[in-house]
């Protein structure tokens, strides 16, 4: 079953199709060696630089990296640098990927890698297509200790020869500020029964859909976004620009803590303002 975002692209409404069929929107990761520090962001695995790496927390479990898109992205080839590099050599003190499961939410493909530096390319069969692609580290070459983190320097995605990730995405990643990095993701108004879905992309684009649960006309909106202090500025492709007061919170619900954003004011269209919760894997 395709995502709500993709379904909304086919529905009548505002804003037209996104400028690109699918553009990288965000990266999420199961853990990080230094939580919250850009040096260990999962974004490092997609930035086109083999000198940066994502590393898991110590005592890694089944670790995952996920890349999300605005729209659906076809991926025909995946290349992986399986660990962290030091002067062009794999850092053997930390774990390296031995086996990886790649999934678009429908199909799963298992890839195996040799314990060597350099980008190891694999052609995918079947081709993966989705608004999210997830990479699960199912087996690892061990590091110096059982508790050693597992690292990945690069995951390079290709679609019929065209780069999906790499240098262009890396430029956008390096321009991310901490406030922006905390926002880029997909957010919904009601988990499990969402009417409104809002995705902030790392390149400064947003995509919003409204699909009433009780009937009514679906709406979709596409444009650009920016932050300035506690103000969120939106410039839709069709419609009026808007400025909303913005707040981001962590809210406890029993033992679970989730992130939410609150948008106050008049949005570019009716029903835009409100409270949204971050969509987690």
Residue 82 burial class via C-beta count within 10 angstroms: exposed 0-12, middle 13-18, buried 19 and up: buried
CATH of the domain at 263: 2.40.128
Which of 148, 174, 200 is where one domain is finished? 174
> Could you tell me if 202 and 150 lie in one domain?
no
Residue 239 reports pLDDT greater than 90: no
Tens digit of each residue's pLDDT (9 = 90 or more) over 40-67: 789 999 999 999 999 999 999 999 999 9
Which of 174, 203, 232 is where one domain is finished? 174
Residue 68 reports pLDDT greater than 50: yes
- For the chain, the average pLDDT equals 89
> Could you tell me if 150 and 59 lie in one domain?
yes
Domain count across the chain: 2
* Average of per-residue pLDDT across 204-220: 92
> Could you tell me if 39 and 113 lie in one domain?
yes
CATH of the domain at 49: 2.60.120.260
> Could you tell me if 241 and 118 lie in one domain?
no
* Average of per-residue pLDDT across 233-259: 90
* Average of per-residue pLDDT across 178-204: 93
Residue 1 reports pLDDT greater than 60: no
> Could you tell me if 109 and 221 lie in one domain?
no
Measure the CA–CA gap between 94 and 67, rounded to whole angstroms.
Answer: 23
Which of 123, 146, 174 is where one domain is finished? 174
Q: What is the pLDDT of residue 19?
A: 34
Q: What is the pLDDT of residue 215?
A: 80
Of the pLDDT bands very low, low, confident and very high (cuts 50, 70, 90), residue 207 is very high
> Could you tell me if 156 and 197 lie in one domain?
no
> Could you tell me if 32 and 132 lie in one domain?
yes
> Could you tell me if 121 and 34 lie in one domain?
yes
Q: What radius of gyration, in Å, describes the C-alpha atoms of the chain?
A: 19
Structural domain boundaries, residue 107: 22-174
Lowest mean pLDDT among 7-16, 49-58, 108-117, 231-240: 7-16
> Could you tell me if 55 and 154 lie in one domain?
yes
Q: What is the pLDDT of residue 92?
A: 96
> Could you tell me if 70 and 155 lie in one domain?
yes
* Structure-model confidence comparison of residues 37 and 263, the more confident one: 263
The β-bridge relationship of strands 96-103 and 108-112 is antiparallel
Q: Report DSSP state, residue 45.
A: G
Instruction: Note the Cα 4 to chain centre separation in Å.
Output: 16
> Could you tell me if 149 and 92 lie in one domain?
yes
> Could you tell me if 152 and 203 lie in one domain?
no
Tens digit of each residue's pLDDT (9 = 90 or more) over 95-141: 999 999 999 999 999 999 999 999 999 999 999 999 999 999 999 99
Q: What is the pLDDT of residue 36?
A: 62
Instruction: Note the Cα 280 to chain centre separation in Å.
Output: 10
């Amino acid at each position: 079953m395709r995502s709500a975002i993709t379904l909304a692209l086919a529905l009548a409404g505002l804003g037209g199709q996104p400028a690109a069929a699918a553009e990288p929107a965000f990266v999420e990761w199961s853990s990080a060696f230094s939580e919250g520090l850009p040096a260990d962001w999962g974004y490092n695995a997609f930035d086109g630089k083999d000198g940066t790496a994502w590393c898991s927390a110590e005592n890694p479990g089944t670790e995952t990296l996920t890349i999300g898109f605005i729209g659906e992205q076809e991926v025909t080839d995946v290349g992986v640098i399986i660990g962290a590099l030091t002067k062009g050599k794999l850092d053997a003190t930390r774990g390296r990927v031995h086996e990886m499961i790649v999934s678009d939410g429908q199909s799963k493909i298992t890839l195996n890698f040799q314990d060597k530096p350099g980008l190891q390319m694999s052609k995918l069969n079947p081709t993966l297509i989705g608004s999210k692609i997830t990479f699960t580290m199912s087996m690892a070459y061990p590091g110096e200790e059982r508790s050693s983190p597992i690292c990945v320097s690069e995951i390079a995605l290709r679609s019929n020869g065209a780069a999906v990730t790499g240098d262009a995405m890396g430029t956008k990643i390096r321009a991310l500020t901490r406030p922006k990095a905390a926002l880029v993701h997909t957010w919904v108004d009601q988990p499990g029964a969402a009417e409104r879905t809002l995705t902030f992309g790392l390149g400064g684009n947003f995509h919003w859909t409204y699909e009433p649960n009780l009937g009514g006309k679906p709406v979709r909106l596409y444009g650009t976004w920016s932050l300035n202090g506690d103000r969120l500025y939106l410039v839709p492709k069709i419609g009026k620009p808007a400025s909303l007061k913005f707040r981001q919170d962590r809210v406890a619900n029993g033992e679970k803590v989730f992130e939410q954003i609150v948008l106050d004011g008049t949005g570019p269209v009716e029903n835009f303002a409100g409270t949204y919760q971050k969509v987690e894997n």
